[in-house]
Structure 1
Amino acid sequence: MTNPRSDRVKAVRSLSGRSARSRHGQFLVEGPQGVREIVRHATSRVLDLYVTSTAATRYDEIVGAARTAGLHVHLATPEVLEAMSPDAQGVLAVARTDGRSPAEQLAELVAHLPVSRPALVAVLATVRDPGNAGTVIRAADAAGADAVVLSGESVDVHNPKVVRSTAGSLFHVPVVTGATLAETVDALRAAGLLVLAADGDGRHDLDDLLDVAGSDAVVDLARPTAWVFGNEAWGLPAADRALADAVVRVPIRGRAESLNLATAATVCLYASSRAHRGVGP
């Protein structure tokens, strides 16, 4: 491919916008890390792979895996890749979005929660910043979470900045979108999960909960758990906090006014991951 003004290039570039993603049911995966992970872990979602000759040599394992899987690999000039996406770094994939309804996605999530060990789910309630959303998905993956839910008016998970910020974790952990927070909480609680809201004014201190985890405390971090994280600017409204079984604060021992959303979420998810160690076979 040599023409940066071709209709195909314009169609791919349009996927940086939400309306085109919604209309076509497709999204962009930009850069070698994200493309490597979708080729490895979500092969069936890949529609096309675009790569420059230089990148094909540098990332020959990506191209080789894609061709072995029977994916469409298109060699293109640097100008074509740049026109498709300035963040492609010579490697770009077009992938399918999940066309299922929120109810179907939630049902699938619940059906596949583990039974031999405590489940861990991160729920983002009206998280608007794409960098924060992507970082929480990456942190949830690293902490061993079983799923992430973006509820309410949260950012589109297929926003290119969200996809890049996950560093490939979007293709490791199930991500559910579109369900309301109330629907999500109801489904997870019915599946036996303790629902905890993270908030700076929470009644329960996270460190105190870790101290008694596994002792059948009223709020026991050793239980299967869903963490609810609020908006970057205003946190969780009272109505959202009321949906949770308990509201938990991350202790701040220094002079920082607060933690940003992604940092607080990482701390909470790792606290649960630690409490879950050794629970189950």
Structure 2
Amino acid sequence: MLTNPRSDRVKSVRALSRRSVRSRTGQFLAEGPQAVREAVRFAPEQVRDIYVTAEAAERHADLLAAARDAKLWVHEVTPEVLAAMCDAGHPQGLMAVCRWARLALDDALGALPPDAVVCVLAHVRDPGNAGTVIRGADAAGADLVVVSDASVDVLGPKVVRSTVGSLWHLPVVTEVPIQTILEALRGRGVRLFAADGAGHTLLPYADLDGPHAWVMGNEAWGLDAQVRDACDDVVRVPIHGHAESLNLAMAATLCLYASAEARLRRPRGP
């Protein structure tokens, strides 16, 4: 059992809370039982080490059994050690150090299905919003999330916690300039929809047939005019009540679910 919260191992794990260390090592933190469970289930090859308190080990015996079956390293630690390792203020007794399997944009686009739905985050800076959009994209059945290089680091602890495990459920490409993203999607025949409050097309009337991508902008100022102009249409979510606007994560989820509904309405093959 690891008992010293000041040990070198503890310090090296906690250092992954910093973006510079994550970038240099290619590793990041997955905190909480749900994130660890999904990492073990969907991407065990990306899990380097699991740290668990005695109480959590008893509560999540099935998860740890699956981890050991996958030949993963499981280390029992004291609550003090886990608290020293974690970024979260109130750790839930379980965390993992994971490796990031970087995915190239061209490879991700080459694997898209004919009716692909893609979510693009352009200059999104809020960790909670970014993680919740990834979670919403997962829930709506999107095929890919692409995050621009001017956005928040999706491997940051707050983003990973906000995805609640969805980070391991669908491909996520990061650190690509937004214009490169848009050009690559257009080159693959994917239509581009800018989601923006200034849009003339209301979401219920958007033509979501065929492969398409939703381009979501910064929480404060939305999308740059250059990005909007590069898209095939600018779409807004209608506001029926007195609310001034929807936040990014809410708007993105509504747009992605509209795409999911459009898929369901398409005729199925024989």
Task: Please indicate the TM-score interval, normalised by the length of the shorter structure.
Answer: over 0.9
Separation in 2 of the partners of 1:10 and 1:113? 40
1:9 equivalent in structure 2: 10
Please state whether the residue corresponding to 2:176 is helix, strand or coil.
coil
1:147 equivalent in structure 2: 144
Please state whether the residue corresponding to 1:242 is helix, strand or coil.
helix
Structure 2 residue runs of 5 or longer lacking an equivalent are: none
2:110 equivalent in structure 1: 111
Letter in 2 for 1:248: V
1:44 equivalent in structure 2: 45
2:100 equivalent in structure 1: 97
CA, structure 1 residues 203+27, in 2 after alignment: closer, same or farther (shift >3 Å)? Answer: same
Separation in 1 of the partners of 2:256 and 2:42? 23
1:216 equivalent in structure 2: none
Please state whether the residue corresponding to 1:178 is helix, strand or coil.
strand
Please state whether the residue corresponding to 1:277 is helix, strand or coil.
helix
Matched, 1:191 2:221: no
**Aligned pairs (5 A) from 1:1-281:** 1-85=2-86, 87=88, 88-99=91-102, 105-115=104-114, 118-209=115-206, 220-279=207-266, 280-281=268-269
| Residues 59-88 of structure 1, C-alpha deviations (whole Å, 9 max, x = no match) | 111101100000011111111111111533
Runs of 4+ off more than 6 Å: none
CA RMSD of aligned residues (A): 1.1
Q: What is the CA-CA distance between 1:192 and the residue it aligns to?
A: 1.7
Separation in 1 of the partners of 2:75 and 2:82? 11
Separation in 2 of the partners of 1:278 and 1:267? 17
Separation in 2 of the partners of 1:42 and 1:151? 23
Q: What is the CA-CA distance between 1:141 and the residue it aligns to?
A: 0.2
Please state whether the residue corresponding to 2:17 is helix, strand or coil.
coil
Separation in 1 of the partners of 2:204 and 2:113? 26
Q: What is the CA-CA distance between 1:99 and the residue it aligns to?
A: 4.3
Structure 1 residue runs of 5 or longer lacking an equivalent are: 210-219
Seq. identity, %: 59
| Residues 1-36 of structure 1, C-alpha deviations (whole Å, 9 max, x = no match) | 111110000000010111111111110000001000
Letter in 2 for 1:111: G
Separation in 2 of the partners of 1:86 and 1:13? 7
Letter in 1 for 2:238: P
CA, structure 1 residues 249+99, in 2 after alignment: closer, same or farther (shift >3 Å)? Answer: closer
Q: What is the CA-CA distance between 1:278 and the residue it aligns to?
A: 4.4
Question: Does structure 1 conserve the Cα–Cα contact (< 8 Å) formed by 2:102 and 2:173?
Answer: no
Give TM-score, length-normalised by structure 1. 0.92
